[in-house]
Amino acid sequence: AQSVTQLDSQVPVFEEAPVELRCNYSSSVSVYLFWYVQYPNQGLQLLLKYLSGSTLVKGINGFEAEFNKSQTSFHLRKPSVHISDTAEYFCAVFNTGTASKLTFGTGTRLQVTL
């Protein structure tokens, strides 16, 4: 069975500082990887995805993530955050073998302050 671990439940950061949100997954087969963002009182929207090819993936709002197969990680980064980036971020893994569901991590709350 696949699983996703987001080690940090909350990450406080000052505006314009860099940030990294960590995500590790476990799966015995090929996977697709996703980061979703949830702004307050809204649904989830896709930030970026890794399906194949280049391990460095760029998404919306200046975010990027790097797929590291040997470390089974898919950390999300942004070089300079803005107040508007305050949200909950979810990492998710899709098992291409069973193709039945997207498994989510427990989420990381990014809090950006002045």
Partner 1 sequence: EAQVTQNPRYLITVTGKKLTVTCSQNMNHEYMSWYRQDPGLGLRQIYYSMNVEVTDKGDVPEGYKVSRKEKRNFPLILESPSPNQTSLYFCASSFAGGELFFGEGSRLTVL
Chain residues binding partner 1 by CB under 8 A are 6, 9, 32, 34, 36, 42-46, 49, 51, 90, 94, 99-107
Q: Which is nearer to partner 1, 15 or 22 (CB)?
A: 22
CB of 75 to partner 1, least distance (A): 17
Q: Which is nearer to partner 1, 43 or 114 (CB)?
A: 43
CB of 107 to partner 1, least distance (A): 5
Sign of CA dihedral 11, 109, 56, 93: positive
Q: What are phi and psi of 50, to 5 degrees?
A: -120, 120
Best CA proximity match to 93, nearest among 16, 42, 41, 23: 23
Q: Which is nearer to partner 1, 85 or 95 (CB)?
A: 95
Q: Strand, coil or helix: what is 35?
A: strand
How far is residue 93's CA from residue 84's CA, in Å, rounded to a whole number? Answer: 26
Pairing label, strands 56-58, 64-68: antiparallel
CB of 42 to partner 1, least distance (A): 7
CB of 103 to partner 1, least distance (A): 8
